[in-house]
Structure 1
Amino acid sequence: MRTPIVASLVHPMVRTIGEAGAQRYFGPSLSLDFINQQYSMGAVWQKPTAKSFSALVTLTRSTGGGRFNAAGVYEWVAANQPRFDYDPLTLTPLGLLIEEQRTNLCLQSDSILTLPWIGQTGSIESTIPSPDGTFNSTRLNYGTVAQTYQLLTVTPGQQYTFSYFVRLGTKPSNSYAVYDHTNSAFLVAATVNASATTARWTRLTVTFTTPANCTQVRIYPDRNDSAGVTGTIYLWRVQLEAGAFATSPIPTATAQVTRAADVVSVNVMAPWYRQSEGTIVVKGDLLNRNASTKVSVDIGAGGALGTTLFIKHITSFDIANPDTAPISVASIANNATLGFRCALAMRRNDMLLASNGALGSADTACEIPVSPTRLTLGAGGWTAAGGYLNGHLRSVAYYPRRLPNTDLQALTAA
């Protein structure tokens, strides 16, 4: 009589006693570890082999893009190259940065003494390096009441996010503001930036909405409204972008600059994908969690919405939408944090999403996409999808079987 050794997440190789050499590998057939930059792929039930990033993942971005490197220095990565991002303070790896297209509307983002900037005198700093490791920040010198601002054209009724890096010198504080130039009123009143310090660079971000008839705003990365406040302050990489949150900083000079979207996918489904059932595990974080759809993974063939299977993240939930119309039927798990750890078990009429160790609702009327051609990462894979993650993917793994619910919880626990 054959006695099977039960496969588990701890011991993924199973061997059936009595069948010499008969083994099945129950671990992931596709593994993308963007933290340690280790990747593997194999046939269903076979132990996978190590691969390079470029052998498995296709990434296109028609422009350069920024990220903090392993030394905590901000750098501009060439077009079509992955952006493995790091925390600039702790140097902790964050994973693969995936963002939508954004444009920095502010000119002379680093040279704040150059037109069209209006205001204070100063100089290019030569002793304190900027976040990019060079000496290209602006040092402003205050001896009395003064303001530094740029006048920019905007669209009425649009959300914008204003951001900049600041470091205090001898000036004791930094204050920012946004002014509706069209209607002569503040949209964001002068506010002290409590995070500004002499010890290091910090980034300030503030989001606002332009009124219905507002066509121009002034952005102030520093205002000095008190006669007794004097001294020096350092500013770098001022940015104004349309959107509800700040994305990675984009350098500008005499013209606005656009950073293109990151388009990332695994374009080969064989031999790792199993049509009848499977489990996909994805971990990462968001720059912002609001009502707009942010997709971490999508399996399909690029058809219309409702023909792919994807995991999305919105205000208070992580949601798995199946290849079934209507897509309002889904497996939903509560999650209001920026981080996500999701495991989606997939089988016809049997779909369940676990998020951060908790099981969501079950979906018992669903399909798995037939003959998918790609696994899209960090965006929707359906026609004209959008749904960019705007965050980091830490890891993606695919198991060619429907894992037990207890395993879904274990794989997504802290």
Structure 2
Amino acid sequence: MSLAFDSQQYAMGAIGKRPAAFAFSDLITFTRSTGGGRFNASGQYEWLPADQPRIDYDPVTGECKGLLIEEQRTNLIPYSDTSGGTWAGGGDRVLGAPTGLAGVFALGTSLAWAASAITFNYYQNLSPVAGTAYTFSVFVRYEDGRDVNVEFGNPTVENTALNPFAFVANGSAYAWSAITKEHVGGGLWRLSYTVTPSDTILRGWGILIRSTHKAGLPRLFVTGYQIEQASSPSSYIPTTTAQVTRAASDPILETLPPWFNPSAGTFVIEHDALDGAPLLSSGDALLASSAGAGRTVLAYDATGSYVSQNGGEFIAGPPLTFGDSLRLMRSATQWANAHCKSLRYYPRRLTLAEASA
């Protein structure tokens, strides 16, 4: 069996026979009870309907990343495109009419300074749960003007992005993660970081922008603001008048003949999952990533199981008992929150050289 999500070609054959082409839905039962977002092959962000698999693309290079599998997440911030609603702010700022970023997002807000401005803020109020991690993310494009600091958080505890994206964290009341950035094309960056509040005080969680030079009237495009109760960012979840929850993805393969051999076989999976993330699970069999993104091989027979990560030597484990179905990029309780580029299965135990070919 071969599931090439990056080329969207799928094949399966009975043991000992040549594989034939099949549709995705012929081989995988895929469910997600809500819509979900992805970047398409043209680099545009779009929201797909419930139960539609998300074949995701790199918006800069156009390369297909594969099938995106994520756990359930909620964007806690209404009006995520920053166009209105519950957003408030202060300082000498100029809010341009809501504008789109052609080819990427449909809506956003252009933020600029008045002639006398040095700082402004743009925020929504949120009462956090003490001791719980929250991850913030926002899409920002620096349009023009002089040097700018972009600070995310609240007026007393801030993360700073300099000129425009070098990062500093501060604030003794909060445990900050490193802030990260991802280029999504057209000068647009997604900035994200994680914070763990130590109290439940209602604060303005938003965007504070500070110009280091008043001359030049710096201007930023801002959209796609998201706060999740989690320790890492997930794909963007658009909101309007209320919070929105994206349901978990659940891809299931039936581990039955004609393609599956319960006595001996080999799985080869290419992915971008982090260490410890589940890749395959069935019965008492669980394959997790232990070397980050790349290629993971699971071979098994009556003598035991054998795992190789990114071309390394096989590490032996106990024999496995498979159930009647196989979960892809998830276990019974955990999701990889990552892409599966491809999955291949061979109904015999391969050597490491064969699996790496």
The two structures have a TM-score, normalised by structure 1, of 0.75
Give the AA of the match of 2:120: A
- Once the two structures are TM-superposed, the CA of residue 221 in structure 1 deviates from its matched residue by 2.7
Give distance in 1, aligned partners of 2:210 and 2:237: 26
The aligned residue for residue 49 of structure 1 is 20
Task: Flag the 1:128–1:261 CA change in 2: closer, same or farther, 3 A.
Answer: closer
Task: Flag the 1:118–1:164 CA change in 2: closer, same or farther, 3 A.
Answer: same
* 1:14-61 Cα distance to aligned partner (Å, 9 max, x none): xxxxxxxxxxxxxxxx11110111111111111111110011111110
Give distance in 1, aligned partners of 2:265 and 2:255: 16
Work out which structure has the larger RCO, using CA pairs closer than 8 Å and 6 or more positions apart in sequence: 2
The aligned residue for residue 172 of structure 2 is none
* 1:246-276 Cα distance to aligned partner (Å, 9 max, x none): 1100111110000000011112522111121
1:123 to 96, 107, 128: 96
* 1:221-268 Cα distance to aligned partner (Å, 9 max, x none): 342264626332110110000111111001111100000000111125
- Once the two structures are TM-superposed, the CA of residue 216 in structure 1 deviates from its matched residue by 3.2
1:152 aligns with 2:139: no
1:368 to 317, 320, 331: 320
Percent pairwise identity = 34
Give distance in 2, aligned partners of 1:299 and 1:127: 45
The DSSP-based 3-state class of the residue aligned with 1:44 is coil
The aligned residue for residue 188 of structure 2 is 201
Pick the structure with greater CA Rg: 1
The DSSP-based 3-state class of the residue aligned with 1:359 is coil
The DSSP-based 3-state class of the residue aligned with 2:272 is strand
The aligned residue for residue 58 of structure 1 is 29
The DSSP-based 3-state class of the residue aligned with 2:18 is coil
Structure 1 consecutive aligned stretches of length 4 or more whose deviation exceeds 6 Å:
195-198
Aligned positions of 1:2-151 closer than 5 A? 30-119=1-90, 120-126=93-99, 128-129=101-102, 131-132=104-105, 134=106, 136-143=107-114, 144=117, 145-151=119-125
* 1:295-333 Cα distance to aligned partner (Å, 9 max, x none): 111133xxxxxxx212112xxx2xxxxxxxxxxxxxxxx
Higher strand share: 2
Query: Structure 2 stretches of 5 or more lacking a match?
Result: 167-180
Task: Flag the 1:153–1:171 CA change in 2: closer, same or farther, 3 A.
Answer: farther
2:246 to 259, 262, 272: 259
The aligned residue for residue 347 of structure 2 is 400
Whether the 8 Å contact between 1:113 and 1:121 is mirrored in structure 2 is no
Whether the 8 Å contact between 1:171 and 1:233 is mirrored in structure 2 is no
Aligned positions of 1:309-388 closer than 5 A? 309-313=285-289, 317=290, 335=291, 337=292, 339-363=293-317, 366-369=318-321, 372-380=323-331, 385-388=332-335
- Once the two structures are TM-superposed, the CA of residue 141 in structure 1 deviates from its matched residue by 2.0
- Once the two structures are TM-superposed, the CA of residue 207 in structure 1 deviates from its matched residue by 1.1
Whether the 8 Å contact between 1:221 and 1:238 is mirrored in structure 2 is no
Give the AA of the match of 2:205: I
The DSSP-based 3-state class of the residue aligned with 1:358 is coil
Whether the 8 Å contact between 2:135 and 2:229 is mirrored in structure 1 is yes
The DSSP-based 3-state class of the residue aligned with 2:96 is strand
Give distance in 1, aligned partners of 2:346 and 2:97: 54
Query: Structure 1 stretches of 5 or more lacking a match?
Result: 1-29, 301-307, 318-334
The aligned residue for residue 269 of structure 1 is 256
The DSSP-based 3-state class of the residue aligned with 2:25 is helix
The two structures have a TM-score, normalised by structure 2, of 0.87
Cα RMSD for the two superposed structures: 2.2
Identify the range of structure 1 (339-348 vs 105-114) with the bigger mean alpha-carbon deviation.
105-114
Give distance in 1, aligned partners of 2:71 and 2:101: 32
Task: Flag the 1:127–1:388 CA change in 2: closer, same or farther, 3 A.
Answer: closer
The aligned residue for residue 177 of structure 1 is 152
Task: Flag the 1:275–1:126 CA change in 2: closer, same or farther, 3 A.
Answer: closer
Whether the 8 Å contact between 1:167 and 1:196 is mirrored in structure 2 is no
The DSSP-based 3-state class of the residue aligned with 2:89 is coil
Whether the 8 Å contact between 1:275 and 1:368 is mirrored in structure 2 is no
Give the AA of the match of 1:353: V
Give distance in 2, aligned partners of 1:199 and 1:390: 26
Counting matched residue pairs gives 333
* 1:102-128 Cα distance to aligned partner (Å, 9 max, x none): 000111111344323323441234474
- Once the two structures are TM-superposed, the CA of residue 210 in structure 1 deviates from its matched residue by 1.2
* 1:77-125 Cα distance to aligned partner (Å, 9 max, x none): 0000000000000000000000000000111111344323323441234
Whether the 8 Å contact between 2:150 and 2:161 is mirrored in structure 1 is yes
Whether the 8 Å contact between 1:161 and 1:240 is mirrored in structure 2 is yes
Give distance in 2, aligned partners of 1:368 and 1:190: 49
